Structure formats: structure tokens, C-alpha cells
Structure 1
Amino acid sequence: MIGSFVYDALPVRVVFGRGTLSAAAAEVERLGAKRALVLTTPQQEAEGRRLGAGLGGLFGGIYAGATMHTPADVTEAALSIMTESGADCVVSLGGGSTTGLGKALALRSGVDQLCIPTTYAGSEMTPILGETRDGLKTTVRTLDVLPETVIYDVDLTLTLPAALSATSGINAVAHAVEALYAQDRSPIVSLMAEEGIRALAVALPAIIRDPQDVEARTQALYGAWLCGCCLGSAGMALHHKLCHVLGGSFNLPHAETHTIVLPHAVAYNAAAAPEAMAAIRRALGAADAANGLFDLICGLGVPQALAEIGMPGDGIDRAADIAVEKPYWNPRPIERDAIHALLARAHAGEPPLSETVSKAA
């Protein structure tokens, strides 16, 4: 049964395919920009310089200092370079760290953004910016940070290491999962979410088997686009709150944190969101949503425990306290003891509680 809902279609131009990186200069010109500052991480600086060469006279310089969780001091350094270069547009080449920096610059200066993602993070499709200052990560939602144009080039993902492809892909799945039970969910978003989860659940194991599988890479990038659309059109809940706490306060790697926490957050909400759980089960072909996700992750051979990625055991108490201090909306009430137990299971790498157990609890 379909009830009342509100759906905001976001104004993002998408160019999807193989070899589409060659359209970058034309897309910058389409924005009316004269000088573009290319943004990358230090690891992707060489790729950024090649992109700059392809921009020709539109290339205004490069800032290769993007890093995860968008620290405010990095943004200020990039803003200074952008001002000096006279750039009126930023071109973000990379994953969520680079996209986040581009958004932060757009928020402060109003410049247009062209995003060229090389991972499956999905941030390029959202009007959401997460920034870290003084050890705390906060988010803002505004169309001022929504990129104007996104170029998806499947060829750019062929060199993405298999393990990073897996965690980046599960990070994308997390966006779709939460959109299924978000406060502002809608039938349109739910359709995209289920299809996005399905595409990635099929593609990621294939990529682990053969990172050069072009069809799997295409399916994964397609799924990531859909999942990013979901995050852009619907709100966030417990899973993203926990990941923001763990990333911002403990400096844990973004994609790996999402990968580990997701099955546990789903188990926490299972009894309160039965329609969402049914959609996840259909997309995975699994009998249980939370454990289906856990099994998918196990099969990808990536970390399953927060302890494996640097989370100290004595930090669980602090993380639980921060998570309940200013909680995001969630279908199940946020209870400090239950959150602590969730984090403890995720820290140890234990399987999530099944839906049956969650309903009985």
C-alpha cells in the first residue's frame, strides 16, 4: 500500500559509460567555467595531473591534499590555493575524500563542481557534506554542496584494488539500506535502493574473483550511482550516525567502518522496519537481511571487526555516549545499552543478531 510521500529529484547531470573521462573539458565548459582546480588525494596526484593536461587551457592548477573525513584545516588550505589560482570551478577526481573536499569548497565559495568518482562511495550524488573539526564529525545538508555534474567512467574503476572495491561497494549498499527505512523514504527511492543493493551484491563477488571483469565493474558503478541517489534523496539513520562517530572521533577508515557496522545496524532496526528488511532479503536472495549482509561481506574477504581497523576496545563506551548524545532519526529508539552491545559485537567481529532474535528481544 502506497501512502503519502515527498520525493525531491536532485538536479545533477550524469554522464555514464566507458571512456567518458574524455568529456571532462566539455563538461567544464558547459558549466561556464574558465579555470578549474583539480582535486585529488596524494595517492592520485599523477592521475589528477593527467586530467589537468586533458583540460588544456581550462586547467587552473591542482590540490592533491584531500583526505578522509574532510578535516577543516585541509579545506582551508585548499581554499587558499583555489583563491590564488583564480579557479571558478573544481574538478574532484577520486573517492569520497576528494568529493567531500570539493563540496566543502563549494559551500565556502559557491564554485561549481564536476565530480569524477573512482570508487563506489556515492557522495557525488548527495547534497550532504560531513566535516571534521576538533575530533568531531558533523554533517550539513544543503543544495549548495550538490555537484552540478558527475562523470562516471567504468574504465577508471578497473584499477581500484579488489579489497577497496569491496569495502567501497558495501559503503554504497549502506546508503541504499538506510534509505529503505529513512524517515523521508518514498516508493521511488525504495525502488532505486533495492536495485542498487541487488546490483552490488552480484557485482562485488565477481570483482573479487576478477578485478578486470568489465561487466561486473559496470554493474557495480551503476549500483553505486543508484545507492548514491538514495542517500541524496532520503535521510540517514543509526548506521550513518555510528559511522560518523567512529570515523570522526577515532579516525577509522571510512569504507571499512561502513562495511563492518552495516549488518549490526540492520539487525538493530530489523523488527522496527519489516518492509525494509523484506526488500533487503529480496535484493540479496537471503533469508535474513542482517546476516545476509554479513555473509556477503565475509565472502569478500574484508575486515569484519572494528578491532581489525584500529578501534580501541576502551573506546566503545565513549562511542556509545557520543552516538546517543545527538542521535539521527531512527525507526527504533536509540538506547544507550543496546548501542553499546551493537558496537561490542562489531568490535569483536561477531555475527549480527538475527531478525528472529531482534523481534524476540
Structure 2
Amino acid sequence: MLQDKIKQFTEEIKGFAPTSAVDVENFRLKFLVAKGIVKGLFEEFKTVSTEEKRTLGKVLNEFKLLAEKTYSDAQAQFAQTKKSLQREEGDLTLPGEGFQLGSRHPLSLVRKEIVEIFKKLGFIVAEGPEIEDDWHNFSALNFPPEHPARDMQDTFFVEKKDGNDIALRTHTSSVQVRLMEMGKPPFRAIMPGRVYRNEAISARAHCFFHQVEGLYVDENVSFADLKQTLFHFVQELYGEGTKVRFRPSYFPFTEPSAEMDISCTICKGEGCQLCKNSGWVEILGCGMVDPNVLENCGIDSKKYSGFAFGMGIERITNLKYEIRDLRLFSENDVRFLSQFETELV
């Protein structure tokens, strides 16, 4: 009977006690939507007799008003609760506070670019420990004990272990030794990493800095291969038209040895503080791997030859971004770092 249904649902509505906004929404879906109970009772009302319509019409309208008011009151109740929470905890519907995206460090940007250039030439990336023993840091690289060439690198010694000096590595050439000891030629690898030397800190020097060294060992490797590899690297990094020159030099682990200069990217060859008014800036040392180094690593120097080179990433970055003081790289000044490429995650 329609009257019994109205009575049943009226009692249910009067007992409605929502505890969340979800309960309120469920009430609306049950009673007030197009296919809800209220609409259904009105459809059923059309089928009753005329006498019953006179009696039930008023009751049914009161039932509809009760359902609508119950929903409206419950909705208002939870809206008020939400406003109270917003006053206590802040407006939860507002968007969150924005935050500034970080930037890639310029040294990381240049390191990545250098790696990518040499990867295209078939070089792999090799890494090694920053705390190194005497053999890998000096002796295997043709630095005998008491050799005056050791004075070229003022070293941070850590301890002496089993008669062997343990120090912070002064160059990433130690990774070359480890690479050659562990495998057999051919080798074609670059070794990026941090190195340490006990030097006075200035605009041009620091007690720690970053290097990328390279090694290529195979049969019939020549100095011409070295020159062409480095010339290609410079053109890729600084652009076509960058001038290059090689000057004879000395390194214990290469023979012959050379230093490579490029035309100053800051003053365009006219002379400035960075290039000491010469128009040229030295960016790396290089040379043919000394046969003694190959033999120390168990490689037949009569069959194999190779070249090696090493550069400071700070110096490369100075020239690329026209930064005149390398101390900026380690001072963590956000004003300086924010000028570089943003890292998007």
C-alpha cells in the first residue's frame, strides 16, 4: 500500500543521522534523484483511486518536503563543519604553495656535455676511488719514490698503511691504471671525478676540483689520432672556428707530452685577465702513454700504444660560461646557481 510505504520512509528519514558528507550524498541519491524514492512514490500515486488521492496527496507532499528539508539541513551542517575546519587549519581547497625548481650545477652540465661528446667517439665512462694508494696514484704512472715530479702535485696524505701511502687522489689518472690492470686492450674510456691538491684557494685555483681524463690504448695508436680527437672535442664544445694549438710539455706518464691551448672565449683573443693578455688559454694536458706505464699495468708496450689526456672541468666551464672566478662553483650561492639550466623531474 502507498500509505504504508510513505509511513515507512517517513520514519527512516526522521531517523537519518549523517556522520559524513558521503552519508548526505547517499541520502540524496536514495530519495531525491530522478529514479529515487520520492519520484517513485509520486508515480505510484497516479495509479490510486480518486478517493485515495484526496487523502494521500497532502501526505505525499509533506513527505517530499520532509525529504528535501532533511537533505538541505544535513548539507548545511557539513558545509558549516568544512568552514570551521578551514578557519582552524586554513582553506583546504586552495592550491598548495608553489616552490622554486632547482637548477643543474654548471659543473654537472659541462661534465655531462663532455661525456656525451666522447661517448659519440666510442669512449666509455670509468670511475674509481677518491682515496687512493701510492701505486695507483703515483708509482704505476712513472712517479718513482723521491722523483721530483711528485712536487708538481702537493698531496693530501691520509695515512700510511702497510708501508704504502694512502692519499686523496691528485688526478683521475689513477682510474686509468685500474682500468688497464683489470682488462686487456683495446681501451677507450674517459674518467670524470673529483680530485684534491693542497693549493692556495684563489680565482684560478682550489684545493679540490674536477677532472675528466681520457685513455685510448690499441695497436698503432698515434699522436695524430690524439690531435684529431681533441680537435673534434673542442669544435663540439666551443663551436666551429675555435682555434687550437699544441705546445711541448712534460708529464711523467706520457712521452711525448703536450699542452693544448684554445683561443680565449672570453676576450676572443684580444687579451684579458683569464688568458693573461695572451689570447690563448690552456685547457688540458695530453700525450702518448709512456711505455713504462703500459708495462706497469701488464700491457705489452711493443705491441700496443696509446694516448691520454686530462682536463679540469672548472677551467672548461669558466670558458664556456665566461665565469672569471672558480670559487663560485663551491660557494652554493643561489643567485649564481639559478642562472643555469633548470632540472625538471
TM-score range, shorter chain: under 0.3
Larger Rg: 1 or 2? 2
Instruction: State the TM-score, normalizing by the size of structure 1.
Output: 0.22
Which of the two has greater strand per residue?
A: 2
Which of the two has greater helix per residue?
A: 1
Instruction: State the TM-score, normalizing by the size of structure 2.
Output: 0.23
